[in-house]
Amino acid sequence: MSDQAILVTGAAGFIGFHVARQLLAEGRHVVGLDSLNSYYDPALKRSRLIVLDRDPRFRFVQIDLADRQSIAALFAKYRFPTVVHLAAQAGVRYSIGHPHAYVDANLEGFLNVLEGCRHNACRHLIYASSSSVYGANTKVPFSVEDKTDHPISLYAATKKANELMAYSYSHLYRLPVTGLRFFTIYGPWMRPDMAIFLFAKAIVEGTPIKLFNHGKMRRDFTHIGDVTRVISKLVDTMSAITVPRSSCMSSRSWRRSWAARRQRKCCRCSRAMYWKPSRISGI
Ligand SMILES: NC(=O)c1ccc[n+]([C@@H]2O[C@H](COP(=O)([O-])OP(=O)(O)OC[C@H]3O[C@@H](n4cnc5c(N)ncnc54)[C@H](O)[C@@H]3O)[C@@H](O)[C@H]2O)c1
């Protein structure tokens, strides 16, 4: 197992904690990043970190994703081969009262992560998107082919924006990127703002359970164990792959024909002609 550390952002959060713990259990070195924000009780985040800190291969850094310089310095220091990006401002309802938190963490922060990967030879970026990108889609089951052009919350809009940003970086810089659209995740250490936690809390406290939409709400849930298994396999798969320098044959054949044409002269003025590729800014 390589000694090069994997970066897990949001390591003090629900999913990031489990992913970091799984990767450590597999013998990997992990750098966990989190701002420990107070979207929900930071004491729960600190308790998760205490568990991770027991492993000497774990290192925690408290950095805000929007802190461009600190993120750039972290990436330059470790040159992570794999980045599992799970930190984000989560929650749909919270975005109504706190829109800037979403732009800072999910847009600016995501760009800083992409830039870190781009400039430091990251071989695979895995990041969390969300089923909320399906918006008001009523067709079930959802499919990755379904339209995701109508997000109905700012949270969903930032997640959709992440998918587009990741696509363009993957295209421009040949950065292998995998986005995962999570459907509501549940399991131990879960987020206290989520329905299953609230139901359990009400049961323990002997208070009534609130059921919205008159109890007719239906939803897909995913167990955290399935999420960590998938991410661990993705980390394995991609570390075994040598990233192609050129993503397709056409790029190589273009280079050959360009070299040949370079020799030709313009018949009118005898000047050498240079066929150039389209500039990335031209599309
Ligand atoms: N839990 C779910 O059901 C679910 C569903 C769909 C998508 N997701 C996505 O999965 C990811 C993880 O979700 P989670 O449930 O573990 O949420 P979480 O809130 O428990 O974890 C996110 C962590 O990111 C940290 N964070 C937030 N903003 C930050 C910033 N600017 N800089 C550094 N750290 C910051 C928080 O402190 C938190 O610990 C998120 O991207 C979320 O949008 C989760």
Please write the tens of the pLDDT for every residue from 12-31.
Answer: 999 999 999 999 999 999 99
Read off the DSSP letter of residue 171: H
- The CA distance from 167 to 164, in Å, is 5
The runs of H, that is alpha helices, within the chain are: 14-25, 42-53, 68-78, 94-97, 99-102, 109-119, 154-173, 195-205, 224-239, 249-262
Q: What is residue 251's three-state secondary structure? A: helix
Q: Ligand 1 pocket test: pick from 51, 86, 220 the residue with the most ligand atoms within 8 Å of its Cβ.
A: 86
For ligand 1, which residues put their CB under 6 angstroms from it? Answer: 10, 12-16, 34-37, 39, 45, 64-66, 86-90, 105, 109, 128, 130, 182, 184-185, 191
Q: Ligand 1 pocket test: pick from 62, 94, 185, 224 the residue with the most ligand atoms within 8 Å of its Cβ.
A: 185
Q: In what order do the strands lie in the sheet with 82-85?
A: 58-62, 30-34, 6-9, 82-85, 124-130, 177-182
- pLDDT tier for residue 136 given thresholds of 50, 70 and 90: confident
pTM to 2 decimal places = 0.88
Ligand 1 centroid, distance to 148 Cα (angstroms): 21
How high is the mean pLDDT of the chain?
A: 87
* Range 44-73 average pLDDT: 98
**105-143 core/surface letters (b: 16 or more CB in 10 A; e: else):** bbbebbbbbbbbbbebebbbbbbbbbbbbbbeeeeeeee
Q: What is residue 122's three-state secondary structure? A: coil
Residue 266: half-sphere exposure toward Cβ, Cα within 13 Å: 8
- pLDDT tier for residue 259 given thresholds of 50, 70 and 90: very low
Ligand 1 centroid, distance to 218 Cα (angstroms): 23
User: Catalytic residue positions?
Assistant: 155
